[in-house]
Amino acid sequence: MAGLPKYDVTAHEQTLIDRIPEAVSTGDVSHIIRTLAEIYQDPENHKYQSAMMIIEKYLFRAYELQYFVDGSGAEFAYDEFFFDEEVHKAVVTAAKSRFDADEAHLEYEKGSAMVSLHMAETAGLFFRKAALQGDIKGAYEYGVTLSRGEGMEADELEGAFWYWTAACGGHSNAMVNLAIGYRSGTGVCADSMSMIYWYLKSAAAGNRTGLMASGSCLSQGLGIPGIKEVGNYILLQAMKNLSEEEEAGLNDLLLQLCGTLEPYIYNR
């Protein structure tokens, strides 16, 4: 039997975190999502940042179960899927291996065509199909659709999940949108450390917006306090035409900063 990992949190935060295994024990993914989303979206809980970031991790895991794993034929215990990292990774990887990449890309292209025809609702449906088949561009666009409510009811939380899915797949614009969400508290709970992490990840992936935002935030002491000079340096480099050597050095710095943050980012 897998169990929820122990976290260094306050007693009250622990009472919120204890709701996770209670929800998982029902074996009902819809109930798990409703329960964790209710806790996560309650403004009264947002001051308990560590608890919210932990709950977000398992809430997004429940979305993965609902959208990628259920119906795949995989056999597993719910507690192991949620709380055993190796089982979770293996189940999700196996489920995604069954996706039809060509079909997913075709659905994405159909969605893009509908955008050009200003048919937002139809585009969103195609992007959803692409996202459900593992296409990261489709996941990003479906996240945009849900976040903005373009042609369908807005759902900023689920939109953030699809940004996160695309970001984990390497989509740099999704990383930026996710970072913006963490900065403003839109879709996800406001969290400066997660914000700067995803800005830095996008910058390391070559996203210019993410690079400028990384430098700007750090120079203001946001995300990682005490390294304003590093932020100023990143901003300066972002405004220059860099040589290959300078580009490589900047990228090494960005990756180093990401690595420093990773032990503190629960949902990555």
Quote the pLDDT of residue 38: 98
CATH number of 99-169: 1.25.40
In the chain, domain spans? 11-97, 99-169, 171-268
* Radius of gyration from C-alpha coordinates of the chain: 19
Q: Which residues neighbour 125 within 8 Å (Cβ) at sequence distance 6 or greater? A: 111
Confidence label for 91 from pLDDT (cuts 50, 70 and 90): very high
User: Top-level CATH class of 171-268?
Assistant: mainly alpha
Question: φ and ψ at 187, to 5 degrees?
Answer: 85, -45
Alpha-carbon distance of 16 to 134, in angstroms, equals: 32
Average pLDDT value for residue range 209-230:
97
Nearest CA-CA partner of 141 in 151, 133, 149, 131? 131
pLDDT in tens, 136-187: 999 999 999 999 998 889 999 999 999 999 999 999 999 999 999 999 999 9
Q: Which pLDDT belongs to residue 1?
A: 57
Which amino acid is located at 1 in the chain? Answer: M
- Asked whether the predicted pLDDT for residue 218 surpasses 70, the reply is yes
